[in-house]
Structure 1
Amino acid sequence: MNSDQLTVTVTDGFVPVIDLSSRGSTLGRAAIAEAIGNALRSSGFFIIVGHGVSAELVDRMFTATNSFFKLPDGEKDVVASRPGVSGYRRAGGTLARSLDQKTPPDLCETYAAHVTGEMSDDERSTLGNEWASWTHKNIWPKDPADFKDAWQEYMAAMGELAADLMRLFALALGLEEGFFDDKFDHHGSSVAVNYYPPQTKAPLPGQLRRGPHTDFGSLTILYQEDERGGLQVLQGEDEWRDVAAIPGSFVVNIGDLMALWTGGRWVSTMHRVANPEAGDTSSRLTIPFFYLPNHDASIEPMRPFTDSSAVERFDTVTVSEWVSRKVQKIFS
């Protein structure tokens, strides 16, 4: 492919597939930014290929993580989350609560680690005292042996990819490419894997693998198992659209904070993870990377606001204040 060209294919007209392989050239970056802007104005979601992340690293991350979740509960509980520590949760919370919806608990287990979780206790004490998990220390399992190394390499690779996506976001908004850089120079990002166990009994009424929610940060980069779907995005008021699980791809979406930051020009869209069909007892694992700005970054929305009623409006808000309110609802 010519480096000054961009191939954009469309899966269903709502979540486009964008090839990033031409982002090394000025014209390629401009074309990619335009495609991203179009996606974020309509669905808030797109799928990326040609992203440059090593398939070997993704496979190693998936294998180590999946092996951990297949361990007996007692072994996983050794690295359970607790006050001040991020790790394993046998119950992944109820995401619909972040939007004040009452549903049964989501049918998933989670494991989370944070970029800031490797800092010393003294360093983390400077990250504020809000109800936020980036102040927590990471805890790592001993089995599998390569778990910690795979996670740390994966978080670093995702951080580099996310930083460049934010530069493309700036171009899509007509801003200088480095506009967002100083808001992420000590970012509080995390990987929070979702493991969906086999469903051997019927879910409760209204219970899903992940209930309807919007993400609440700036952007999310999600790895899905190849050809094993479940992620659905809401189109309009009541139509749930499947998001394809394409080998070698990542799903990217923005969260509420990014929608606010753009003054409602871009949309943070409701999504969920549907239950498998009756009789399907397969498990599923997804690996989302949540790219968050610095905890003390002050987010000033672009003016004027659009007329969208979906945007929670503030003159300014710090990232710490914003995220803490959302997380507290999920695990309340």
Structure 2
Amino acid sequence: MSPNSVTMVDGYVPVIDIAARHDESGRAALAEAIGRACRTSGFFVIVGHGIPSALIERMHTATTTFFTQPDAEKDRFASRPGFSGFRRSGGTTAQSLDRRTPPDLCESFGAHVTGELGDREREALGDYWATWKLANLWPRTPADFKDTWQEYMAAIHVLAADLLHLCARALGLAEDHFDDRFDRHVSSLVANFYYPQVDEPLPNQLRRGAHTDFGGLTVLYQQDDKGGLQVLQGEDTWRDVRAIPDSFVINIGDLMALWTGGRWVSTMHRVVNPERADTSSRLSIPFFFQPNHDAEIDPLPPLSPVANQQPPQSVIAGEWMAMKTQKLFAPAQ
């Protein structure tokens, strides 16, 4: 990786060219850059990722076509609360942190890698309600929607798995350290459609309220010409993460931060409303790379234990993620 392969966005979120990840010396330098980002902001942007631009464009076109259909057509593929099927409301994200706000100003559509399994296989993915236990619901229009989503999901999964290898290396671990906790992963692909804001938002109502992600790694596509994503720096400084053509935004979630024993941070982020004169829509598509539902998240030993401070407690991945998801989709108070 050349010295010019890492730049900064607003001095906080690095942009990392990962084209050298197929070379051993390049992987060492990339792991160092990723580790540095995860210790500070928990966010970085990647370019040189190898996902074909044509596939990304097809994904954008098919998804936008679905969301711009009449409500009655979209409602045919509505699902119960969770990241599966269409939802007229994308939930109230801030509630995952027990913060009370009005519902987020977006629609959503989601599918799971487990959503194509048989009923019995899905039912075995935890003895509790969980969104990854739902069958995928595929729209009929546009005609290429299902094939495009499945192709895109498979490509992003390969990328996410390699990023996880680099994360392990950044922590001084073998690259395959996390593999046996992701070999039956319950990841999801979700599209957020931020429709035009014609009406004035309610107080404290955003396109996506402030939150942290729940799981392992998030690989986010955001529309190149539309901003809105912000990352919290410190206690009260919000930094824009501008949309860069042919890039993905990567961030670590709560479980990965816990896994590292506090070495890395799962950072608060949000999607703010556009200027009142701007009535355009915006599309973002995160892939949530989640561990196996029964994976035990056992934190690494702290770098410097503090006297009388309890070490982080391990959790079961699926139980943690299901609890957070239910909070997100609970009726707004």
Please report the TM-score for the alignment, with normalisation by the length of structure 2: 0.95
Q: Percent identity?
A: 64
**8 Å contact from structure 2 (residues 83, 190) kept in 1:** no
Question: Residue 141 in 1 paired to residue 139 in 2?
Answer: yes
Q: Which residue pairs with 2:61 in the alignment?
A: 63
Which residue among 281, 284, 289 is the counterpart of 2:282?
A: 284
Q: What displacement does 1:317 show?
A: 1.2
Q: CA RMSD in A?
A: 1.7
Q: Which runs of 5+ in 2 are unaligned?
A: none
The 1:4–1:305 alpha-carbon spacing in structure 2 relative to 1, beyond 3 Å, is closer
Q: What displacement does 1:5 show?
A: 6.7
State how far apart, in whole Å, the 2-side matches of 1:87 and 1:284 are. 19
1:252-278, Cα deviation, whole Å (9 max, x unpaired): 000111110001100000000000001
Q: What displacement does 1:203 show?
A: 0.2
Alignment of 1:268-307 (within 5 A): 268-304=266-302
Q: Which residue pairs with 2:8 in the alignment?
A: 10
Q: Which residue pairs with 2:122 in the alignment?
A: 124
Q: Which residue pairs with 1:182 in the alignment?
A: 180
Q: What displacement does 1:82 show?
A: 2.7
Q: Which residue pairs with 2:241 in the alignment?
A: 243
Larger deviation, residues 126-135 vs 160-169 = 126-135
State how far apart, in whole Å, the 2-side matches of 1:113 and 1:30 are. 34
Q: Which residue pairs with 2:24 in the alignment?
A: 26
Question: Which residue type is aligned with residue 60 of structure 1?
Answer: R
Question: Which residue type is aligned with residue 20 of structure 1?
Answer: I
State how far apart, in whole Å, the 2-side matches of 1:6 and 1:176 are. 27
1:14-56, Cα deviation, whole Å (9 max, x unpaired): 0000000001111100000000000000000000000000111
**8 Å contact from structure 1 (residues 219, 292) kept in 2:** yes
Q: Which runs of 5+ in 1 are unaligned?
A: none
State how far apart, in whole Å, the 1-side matches of 2:180 and 2:217 are. 16
Question: Residue 45 in 1 paired to residue 43 in 2?
Answer: yes
**8 Å contact from structure 2 (residues 88, 107) kept in 1:** yes
State how far apart, in whole Å, the 2-side matches of 1:43 and 1:228 are. 22
Which residue among 184, 206, 210 is the counterpart of 2:208?
A: 210
- Secondary structure of 2:192's counterpart equals strand
- Secondary structure of 2:79's counterpart equals coil
Q: What displacement does 1:110 show?
A: 0.3
How many residues get paired? 327
Q: What displacement does 1:198 show?
A: 0.2
State how far apart, in whole Å, the 2-side matches of 1:86 and 1:7 are. 37
State how far apart, in whole Å, the 2-side matches of 1:125 and 1:156 are. 23
Which residue among 188, 199, 206 is the counterpart of 2:197?
A: 199
State how far apart, in whole Å, the 2-side matches of 1:314 and 1:160 are. 30
**8 Å contact from structure 2 (residues 82, 325) kept in 1:** no
**8 Å contact from structure 1 (residues 6, 22) kept in 2:** no
Q: What displacement does 1:85 show?
A: 9.1
The 1:84–1:105 alpha-carbon spacing in structure 2 relative to 1, beyond 3 Å, is closer
State how far apart, in whole Å, the 2-side matches of 1:60 and 1:124 are. 29
